[in-house]
Structure 1
């Protein structure tokens, strides 16, 4: 397939949104519960969230936060820091579209708290890891910088190792959007640009993937030996945990699970998304990360047309709310992100010229 940057970036954005919207109705379900009720779940359905009552195909806060970050990048013509992201959140964030963790961040920012550290002490969740993908896009081909920028942005929203795992996702996207990228090169990039617990978690999950003969067998292994037992930090209830009434909001589970599932889906973007959401537990987060990575690797053209059309149409009110433009959608944001890449190219050229003058003068 001929490489097309628009197809790649759009695939990343719309793939992540589709995984999010598909996974939302079964968030908190176990794999067993999903299988007993639906067999395989792969259609948009109505769902309820504490912060919204939503129609089939509607995105959750995972994609909403990602779009706010996209807007930050395009309005600042490229790479951004927590300062710029904080400005966008103060101006545009609708508390009715996000979970309690993001509401807390907004309140901290509104009181003048330092945006570089508002994530300290925050309740763990997967929003930062789900939202960070545009940082990888704007740092295409430079996973090291994507990791650094991703860590900085994650520090606004999360604390501890969650920042590292979020940064690792950004590094993976920086590789995934490149020509000739493969799932193997993406996973290798994520392992290289990671640290400590994050690296170990991915390594363990990928070990299960290497031993599994199918995605179903992999998920059985993950449920038996990998699910994050540390969340939530309340009185332990074994029955509730294993019945799916309690599920992890930890990136140490979600991100490794996403890449392990992706590795066994034979380069099929649609199957990758389906298997991601049918893992269950934090299914919209797993679906978002799988969809973003697979969509970038294989392009939007490979994603089911009916999914793309419905997800675009169903979220028009959100796009207009955020951007003030009734024609805005994931595709128009794709074009704006590509413009930001062109600005990054200009800045890189200017930097090259500056260093050339410096070194030429120093050597004369």
Structure 2
């Protein structure tokens, strides 16, 4: 069963990412005007300067970087090594020509340039608050048991550090990874979501580096907004207007948790709702749908979506799933 949930998290990440790719970084009104309603994979429009590089059903840098993280974990036989993670992300960025395309966030671009110049990750400042750590956190949720919170936060912080070391960015990655990890253990969404504000608070306060608002408070606002809204359309509109759907962790992670709730944890519905939200649709979709996939397992993902993702991206998620699960079991035995 855990095998199906880990696969569900990885496919969920790719599904939310690829479904949200065409509308990424566009205002909600423009998404509606251009697409009407997105409920299937579409190519990136030529006029979208972030999505224009991607074809129908292709996932973006979010999932590519998640797989870089997984590759680094496999290379280090289940251990998290920040310099190896940085090396894998840099190799992908160079192969994709990401430095010359509008796909890397500002924080990641600065960090990867420093890594390219030979700086060790431990010497980088990386105090940005964008969502580059949270967007690639799904393999960490697959790898790390959520039994010891302090240890969990330390491991997520280490894995985030090649590009993001700020309290907020780490807390956002912890929220996504912890939700996935608990889902893989078979925990129900209700008990996971009730605990998330406390998890966020602990992670953000572990080592303060910014003057960011409280991620815990924003999560509570996001969930309250969705639960009290009058229907799906109104809920999405209010999440976009009140919580925010931008590239900052303080907006996108709470928005993602809100979308899991709004979708009733259904991964297919979640990917579609995120794609139509506006803002950082691919990243919000990747985070939210990874959680939904982990909750219900790979069998909950629409088979036609799954086969299209496989045909276009050829990700070999089964290999990643087997390795991450093996390393997770080793950690559980310690």
TM above 0.5, yes or no, is yes
Superposition CA RMSD, Å: 2.4
- Residue 223, structure 1, aligned to residue 237, structure 2: no
Q: For the residues of structure 2 that align with 1:128 and 1:193, how far apart are their CA atoms?
A: 16
Q: For the residues of structure 2 that align with 1:308 and 1:143, how far apart are their CA atoms?
A: 34
- Residue 162, structure 1, aligned to residue 161, structure 2: no
- Residue 9, structure 1, aligned to residue 6, structure 2: yes
In 2 relative to 1, CA 216–119 (structure 1 residues): closer, same or farther, beyond 3 Å? farther
In 2 relative to 1, CA 116–218 (structure 1 residues): closer, same or farther, beyond 3 Å? farther
Q: Which runs of 4+ in 1 moved over 4 A?
A: 48-52, 90-93
Number of residues paired by the alignment? Answer: 312
Deviates more, 1:280-289 or 1:46-55: 46-55
Shift of the alpha carbon at 1:92? 5.3
Deviates more, 1:306-315 or 1:92-101: 92-101
Deviates more, 1:201-210 or 1:55-64: 201-210
Aligned counterpart, 1:206: 223
In 2 relative to 1, CA 266–225 (structure 1 residues): closer, same or farther, beyond 3 Å? closer
Aligned counterpart, 2:303: 305
Question: Which one has the largest radius of gyration?
Answer: 1
Check conservation: 1:272, 1:290, Cα contact below 8 A.
yes
Deviates more, 1:296-305 or 1:72-81: 72-81
Shift of the alpha carbon at 1:119? 5.2
Shift of the alpha carbon at 1:288? 0.3
Q: For the residues of structure 2 that align with 1:126 and 1:17, how far apart are their CA atoms?
A: 16
TM-score between both structures, scaled by the size of structure 2: 0.85
2:135 aligned residue (130, 134, 140): 130
Deviates more, 1:216-225 or 1:63-72: 216-225
Provide the secondary structure at the position in 1 that maps to 2:274. Answer: helix
Check conservation: 1:79, 1:139, Cα contact below 8 A.
no
Provide the secondary structure at the position in 2 that maps to 1:151. Answer: helix
Shift of the alpha carbon at 1:302? 0.8
Q: For the residues of structure 2 that align with 1:51 and 1:23, how far apart are their CA atoms?
A: 9
Check conservation: 1:142, 1:174, Cα contact below 8 A.
no
TM-score between both structures, scaled by the size of structure 1: 0.78
In 2 relative to 1, CA 62–217 (structure 1 residues): closer, same or farther, beyond 3 Å? same
Structure 1 residues not aligned, in runs of 5+:
229-247, 320-328, 349-364
2:268 aligned residue (244, 247, 270): 270
Deviates more, 1:298-307 or 1:44-53: 44-53
